[in-house]
Structure 1
Amino acid sequence: MTTAPTGGRTAAAVSLRLGLAGLRAHKRRFAGTFAAVFLGVAFLAGTMVMGDTLRASFGTLFASANSGTDTVVRGADEIKAPGPGQGTREPVPTALADAIRRVPGVAAVAPDIEGAGQLVKADGTSLDTRGPTVAGNWIDDPQLNPYTLVEGRAPRAPGEIVVNRGAFDRGGLRIGDRTLLRTPDPVRVTIVGVAAFGTGSGQGETTYAGMTWADAERYLTPAPGRATSIKVRAVPGLGERQLTDRVAKVLPAHYEAITGTQASDETEQSTAGAFLDVFTTLLTVFAAVALLVATFSIHNTFATVAAQRTRENALLRALGATRRQVLGSAMAEAAAVAVLASGAGLLGGIGVAAGLQALFPAVGFPFPRGGLKVHAVALAVPFAVGLLVCAGSAVTPALR
């Protein structure tokens, strides 16, 4: 039986003792509240941890793939298309490559052509993909080329292509196979090599086809002598900012030079950023639904407990307990449940993130590999939300 408070005890101590006693007395009823808060916090924490992990993994992947590019020359004006992704820029004259090569500090220059290219599988059907379908010229300089040859050889003759590992495996293709590449016109091609993007085995469900410069110029550009961009590598000891400033001085109007880091970040955002936004939003919606259910569960639980304790509260008031102490006991119960459930939810959230990381490759989303990134904000925000939801849902029943 709950003992009456004495004058020597503070209001906070009495409220805490009453609250913990009530929690022990109704622990079965509070189990549902604990589970609801736990699930909501776990989903929210798991979403934030997984989002941070994927951003870090994609960032590392793109940084490693483009680490050899110090400067990128491109059209200065961008025509932004509706929706996510990069817009369209004016092609760069390949003749600019000669002027760039004469800039002090330039070690290598490579015009880069990029366009659309949908690969056809060995059975003659189109290779379905959830990511971009890209075709371009195979860059011979291994430091300027974001792809690394892992099998076969580079394209040398018309109609020869190198494909990324993911497309090669999903398409059931083999070295030497002849197939079609839609650019959008169908082009008969022979697969002579397999490449990996950066340090990974691919870019998820994307498709890449690298061809000779002549083929890329023929099938992917509106006219010869044009490139999507020009990649530049600096001599050892020269920073990318210094090289970029030097290259910018020799460019005519309507063209610009940006650092390799900026170009890599923009490509990462256009390729992975939109997907990550949708992914994290979807999981956050699940977390919000779980927390909404938790709100109703907590409110109903505390309303039921408050109704059952009407006579007990009246007795406590008769023995000298203040209204503040009785209210404090109810809030102490809510706080105890919130702290325990939110703390357990954080651990559960890390487990959710680890489970998602293992699950997605099995269902066709081979994200870049890497350890979980657990940042302080990914723990603090879900914990605070759990406390606020629990305490806020318990206030109204406690005031009755």
Structure 2
Amino acid sequence: MAATGDAAYIKQINRSLILQKIIEKKMISRADLSKLTDLTRATISVQAADLLEKELVVETQLEHHSVGRRPIMLSINGQAGFVLGIDLDLGAMTFALSDLAGKVVRLETIPLQSDSYEEVVKTAAKNIRRIQSYCEESRYGLVSVVVGVHGLVTLEEHVHFVPRLGWTDVSLKTDLEEAAGLPITLENNANLCSFAERVYAHPEAKNLLGASFSSGIGLGMMMNEDFFKGENGFAGEAGHMIVVPNGRPCSCGNKGCWEQYGSESALFRELSVKKKQETITRADVIDWIQARDETVMEMMDEFLFYLSVGLNNMINLYNPNVVVLNSELLRFYPEAIKRIEAQLVSDISHYRELHISKLGKQACSLGACALGIKQFFHISTLQLEMD
């Protein structure tokens, strides 16, 4: 009995490794698969036949080949099924539908008329069912739904607290599964953003920090190619690290939290007072930056200072390979990276690369899609490209 179980386990490991390499290379021959995986050609042939029968891969014969027979290439059959990634935020939900090869085939944002828990669940379930109908003709249909939550999510996928929506201890996974009639995976949005950065932009980085600076500060940590979540799943709440003792009051109950100084929303609040303008938008600030408005440039320097203070602490704590900053403002601020790097001068602050995210607002939903693909194929690592 044990031998049978061991054989099945080894077969699954081999299959995962093969799928991982096919996804990574996008198109690869059986011979090259054997070289890359150190599996025998016989093992590759058996696995390939099984994957072809299940319609998870397809064969393509190269049109041009310099020497000998044209090799038959294997690639993922993206149209065999689909995954749905959802970014659940205040005021809107973004739905990204990806095929199994990682190509986003639908991307839409649905406004939320209410932040009522019941209404949000109802709206989410309605749109999940609607999008599921687009996938019905494929072999496997909608294989995964992953929802990114802007709040505390436990290891058991229970929503402990969503500050912007005012939710405390809600059973979103269970309620959404009952309403939509599908299995749902819940994950913290910052974790999904960092996962997206690793999968789509920095696949070589086993240790990556992804920090978002919009409504607050979210920190997602990839350590040895996996999420670092802590004891309960709440690791990464760096926005509530105190950087100014007895400073500005925060909704968490403390004073002087990082997100009260180093987030875009904090900058908007301060600018609203300085500019005597009730509502400040990101577009307003970008226009002022481009016009070199003196007040705004001074406040941006302060924003970058506090951003760097907290970032320095995070780098010292986790020693990442790559650090990615997700902020629309930084993309439009001249030499933002150089200005931040100039303030990360400690001899013990070690990281290799610092980047501004190119994924932007899509990072969470793309990370959710990528996680769904990874789970469906049961692979240990994933590498995709943007369209």
Short-chain TM bin = under 0.3
TM-score by length of 2: 0.23
Structure possessing the higher relative contact order (Cα contacts under 8 Å, 6 or more residues apart): 1
From the CA coordinates, give the structure whose radius of gyration is larger: 1
TM-score by length of 1: 0.23
Bigger proportion of residues as helix:
1
